């Protein structure tokens, strides 16, 4: 862990922002960089409700541009809280969140994943895939799940 980066997936939610505070604290403690990851859903995913007002390619480019801008801004804000020699590496991937987070962690040999739990319970837990739980069970490195 002391020589590896921290992977912090974000969906730009308040809960993810809370987890990011832990990632910053750990990065400063262990003197490692943060890989800030956002996984974009496919154009025809649940987030777009199947409504296409443009060509799929145009929509995908607009979503990617928006995501890149938001991720860059967040990385800039994080840099102000990191020790001077450390940095944030913004990363955008597309596809299934669970598989993309796991692939990024393996490909980059990260020392730890720090991520938010959205805390679904009851019926909501059964109907929504629990990303944090799946990553915790399948990751090859330690995972810190923040509520």
Residue 78: is it exposed, middle or buried by C-beta count within 10 angstroms (0-12/13-18/19+)?
A: buried
Q: What number is the average pLDDT over the span 30-47?
A: 81
Q: What is the 3-state secondary structure (H, E, C) of 86-117?
A: CCEEEEEEECCHHHHHHHHHHHCCCCEEEEEC
Confidence of residue 57 (pLDDT cuts 50, 70, 90): confident
- Give the per-residue pLDDT at 128: 53
Domains of the chain: 6-146 (3.40.50.620)
Nearest by Cα to 143 from 29, 14, 7, 13: 7
- Give the per-residue pLDDT at 119: 52
Q: Retrieve residue 43's tokens.
A: 């154009």
CB 5 within 8 A of CB 89: yes
- Res 15 pLDDT > 70: yes
SS3 77: helix
Strand order of the sheet with strand 6-9? 88-94, 34-40, 6-9, 112-116, 143-146
Rounded Cα distance between 90 and 123, Å, is 34
CB 100 within 8 A of CB 109: no
């Amino acid at each position: 862990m002391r020589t590896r980066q921290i992977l912090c997936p974000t969906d730009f939610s308040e809960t993810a922002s809370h987890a990011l505070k832990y990632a910053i604290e750990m990065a400063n403690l262990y003197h490692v960089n943060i890989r800030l990851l956002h996984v974009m859903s496919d154009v025809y995913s649940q987030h777009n409700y199947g409504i296409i007002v443009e060509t799929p390619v145009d929509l995908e480019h607009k979503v990617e541009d928006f995501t890149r801008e938001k991720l860059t801004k967040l990385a800039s804000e994080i840099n102000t809280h990191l020790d001077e020699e450390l940095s944030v590496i913004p990363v955008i991937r597309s596809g299934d969140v669970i598989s993309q987070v796991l692939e990024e962690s393996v490909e980059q040999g990260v020392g730890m994943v720090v991520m938010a739990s959205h805390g679904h319970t009851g019926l909501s837990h059964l109907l929504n895939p629990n990303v944090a739980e799946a990553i915790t069970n399948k990751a090859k490195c330690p995972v810190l799940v923040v509520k």
